[in-house]
Amino acid sequence: MPARFHSSLPSRIAELSRLLTSGRGDRSLSYLNRPDFLAAYLHYFLPWNLCRLCILLPALDINLSAGDTITDIGSGPLTFVSALWISRPDLRSLPLEFICIDRCAPAMEAGKKFFAAIGGSDKWKINPVKESINVTAAKVTRRQKPAALVCAVNMFNETYENLPHGKYQRQGGEGLRRIAANSARIMQGYASPSASILTVEPGVPQSGHFIAFLRDAFLELKRPPKSPCTHTADCPLNSAKKRWCHFAFETSNLRLGASNELRRLSSATGIPKERLVFSYLLTGPEADPASYQTSEQVRVISDAFPLPPAHPRAVRRSGRYGCSAKGLVLLAGEKNRIEKINSGALITPEITVKEQRDAKSGALIAEV
């Protein structure tokens, strides 16, 4: 990083954070072409995004073979490629080809330098492609080799975040639903019939609703979800205004390696990271709907919250929401037990024969 950017780095990070959130209307599409914003992104947003992906990727059923192609849409500084290298050492010996598509060439070049700096192997061939993805048109403008894995990390929110506040929920969320359908068709256009498709978005309500609509769109394309969904039934959060599918992890519980500098920089910007939150969807290959499978397990999709005791002297109880083929589930149990469950965990709870439901949420109550 040029020396003149060192002293101004915290203020540049804070300004970029504003442009990515409350001030998104002031942000240009080519903001990473600015050297000061690119430096801010590489020193703050890149490492935190790597932390998110390195939590997620080892837990996903992503199987690659020698010679496979991976298409990364909106790759930025090759965040996905680097995260896959860090978190999946079993793939490092495989010859793989990555087609990295982004409108910002400097970000991709910086990503190639970063990948080399962390020991990235020459067996992973990286082909940067400078190109803008038009979600409105839903077209694949440049046909690449059909990929075994297509991914888009923090890509689509730059489109749907510009919808007026609340519009994505009015009238059945048609604006957001349309963007999700176009996004699914774009990713489908890069994928082979046997490919998996991964989308990771920020863990905010609008992103959670986008992911639910994206799931519907992929089901129409006969691509069933592999994760986090355990079923292909209707999403129980599709129309829930105050609940959305997302996963949260406390940064204090993570092994972040050389994290002191990152934590100091985060504090200096005034936006320290206490939690890493994301929403995601991994779909499987194209399949006949008759072959779709359903698991009896429940995916944990919320933080723990207190529940009223059964009687004054009863042990303290907590609950967490979960998603299942039977719809929304309220996982209930002893406070210590519920709080020890990891976000995103798959568990098999005991659902009562009477199938009692929570009066507030309508969720099926299950004992853990």
The ranges assigned to domains in the chain are 3-291, 298-367
The whole-model pTM stands at 0.91
Q: Does domain 3-291 bear CATH number 1.10.287.130?
A: no
pLDDT of residue 206: 86
Q: Identity (one letter) of the amino acid at 232?
A: T
Which among 84, 10, 38, 52 is positioned nearest to 256, based on CA atoms?
Answer: 52
- The CA distances from residue 174 to 54, 142, 163, 213, 267, in Å, are 33, 28, 11, 10, 39
Q: What pLDDT was estimated at residue 113? A: 95
- Return the ∠ at Cα 27 (arms to 17 and 134), rounded to 5°: 115
Nearest to 127 by CA among 160, 156, 100, 155: 100
Quote the pLDDT of residue 167. 46
The DSSP secondary structure of 25-82, one letter per residue, reads GG--TTGGGSHHHHHHIIIIIHHHHHHHHHHHGGGS-----TT-EEEEET-TTTHHHH
pLDDT, residue 47, reads 92
What would the two tokens of residue 74 be? 């909106």
pLDDT at residue 171, as a whole number: 43
The pLDDT, as a whole number, for residue 262 is: 84
Q: Give the pLDDT confidence score for residue 110 in this predicted structure.
A: 95
What pLDDT was estimated at residue 242?
Answer: 74
Rounded Cα distance between 50 and 88, Å, is: 13
- Per-residue tens of pLDDT for the chain, all 368 residues: 667 767 788 898 989 888 887 666 666 767 888 888 899 999 999 999 999 999 999 999 999 999 999 999 999 999 999 999 999 999 999 999 999 999 999 999 999 999 999 998 889 999 999 988 877 666 665 567 899 999 999 998 877 766 654 444 444 477 888 899 999 999 999 999 999 999 999 988 888 889 999 999 999 999 999 999 999 999 988 766 678 889 998 887 776 554 778 888 888 888 888 889 999 999 999 999 988 988 889 999 998 999 987 666 667 899 999 999 989 999 999 999 999 998 999 998 877 667 788 888 889 999 88
Dist. CA 51–CA 100, nearest whole Å: 20
Phi and psi at residue 212, to the nearest 5°: -65, -40
CB 213 within 8 A of CB 250: no
Q: Note the maximum CA span of the chain.
A: 67
